Structure 1
Amino acid sequence: MTRHASDVMTRAPATVEPRTSVAAVARMTREEDIGAVPVTDGERLRGLVGDRDLVVRAMAGGGDPNRTTVANACGADLVAVRPDDEVVRAVEVMREHAVRRVPVVDDSRCAVGIVSIGYLVIERDPESALGDISAARPDT
């Protein structure tokens, strides 16, 4: 049976606007146990800011996390898949762009989900070490 992005994605992800502070997004990722947050302008996806983006692009530069916005922390190379794309397409996009997560967008470029490498591993190889790690409760 063919699996689609909609079958393995996290649905209705929490989103933030570009002017949201890095500190606010960092708290959101901790409180909601998520690794990435779509950045939207209205409903349209404009970027994806992940935990590594927060640390490497925003925090490591020494800026004030309460004043630095996620617009400054988002990666420049935004890629996405559609809900009806096959899972293998999501994997191809992740490999090609060396990303751990890829947003899922509808026809209007609105974020409707996120496919993460962790969920793909749980889906495809739940008994592997990475599957165990991905399924484990967070260490907060």
Structure 2
Amino acid sequence: MTQHVSDVMTASPVTVEPQTPVTTVARMMRDENIGAVLVAEGERLRGLVSDRDLVVRAMAEGGDPSRMTVAEACSEDLVTVKPGDDLTRAVKVMREHSVRRVPVVDDSQHAVGIVSIGDLAIERDPGSALGDISSTRPNQ
């Protein structure tokens, strides 16, 4: 039976406006226990910012994080999948673009979810190290 992205994605992803301070996004990630937030202007998906992006693009640059916006730290060259795509497509997109998380968009390009490499590992290979780690409660 073919499984679809909608079967494993995180629905209703956390979304912020581009002018949101990176410190606010970091706190959201901590409080929501997530590793990525989508960046949107109104209904238009503009980017994705991960916890790694905050470190590499914001903190490592040495600027004042309280003045830096998420627009300065997010990845804007997005690839997406649709909820009805099969999981093989999601794996292919991640592999081809060397990304760990992919926004899930509907036909109008509105973000409806996010799928991660961990989500796919839990589903496809739960006994693997990544599947095992991804299914475990995170450290608090």
TM-score by length of 1: 0.96
Matched, 1:97 2:97: yes
Runs of 4+ in 1 over 3 A off after TM superposition: none
Question: Within 2, Cα distance between the matches of 1:60 and 1:26?
Answer: 14
Aligned partners of 1:44 and 1:108 also within 8 Å: no
TM-score, normalization by structure 2:
0.96
CA offsets, 1:2-53, max 9 Å, x none? 1111111000111000000110001111111111001011122110001111
For 1:6, the equivalent position in structure 2 comes to 6
Is 2:48 the partner of 1:48? yes
How many residues are treated as equivalent by the alignment?
140
1:136 shift after superposition? 1.3
RMSD: 0.9
Report deviation, 1:58. Answer: 0.9
- Contact kept in structure 1, 2:46 and 2:76, CA below 8 Å: no
Given the alignment of the two structures, is residue 79 of structure 1 paired with residue 79 of structure 2, yes or no? yes
Consecutive unaligned residues of structure 2, counting only runs of 5 or more, are none
Whether contact under 8 Å (2:5, 2:115) holds in the other structure is yes
1:53-64 to 2 correspondence within 5 Å? 53-64=53-64
Partner of 1:27: 27
1:45-93 deviation digits (Å, cap 9, x = unpaired):
1100011111101111011111101101112321111111111111111
In the other structure, the counterpart of 1:124 is 124
Give 1:130 shift: 1.3
The alignment partner of 1:23 has SS state of: helix
2:121 matched to 1:138? Answer: no
